Amino acid sequence: MTRFEIEIEVQPKDIDSQGHVNNVQYLRWVQDVAVAHWKAAASPEDQEALTWVVVRHEIDYRRPAYVGERLILKTWVGLATRLRFERLTEILRPADGVVVAEARSLYCPISRASGKPTAVRPEVRAFFSVG
């Protein structure tokens, strides 16, 4: 699976009292691009059968971003095991090529039917994982 990306524009609501993007907004974007990736790439059957819960987020803030700037959110799956999927995200400013933030998240697949952790089909794991 190749990297998935979406482009966004920083909105006034994303800005904190220091005049740049609030750290909580970066976390929202990490989740937004992960969900968009899943919806764009997973089959309707897999989307019906599975949902995901985050078990860990790590974010490194590299540079500030400001209202009106365009950002590219890139994500891909790294190591995927039976019950843990590592998702990597990079947020960059295309105007100057600067990475403004990087994130590493761990997700656990959950069966929609049982509400419990479940292993995904090997085909799903192979399709999404690049690690």
Q: Which residue has the tokens 């937004």?
A: 32
0.75 surpassed by pTM: yes
| Domains recognised in the chain with CATH numbers | 4-102+122-128 (3.10.129.10)
The residue type at 117: P
> Do 101 and 112 touch, CB atoms closer than 8 A?
no
Q: Tens-of-pLDDT digits for all 131 residues of the chain?
A: 578 999 999 999 999 999 999 999 999 999 999 999 999 989 999 999 999 999 999 999 999 999 999 999 999 999 888 899 999 999 999 999 999 999 999 999 999 999 999 998 887 777 777 65
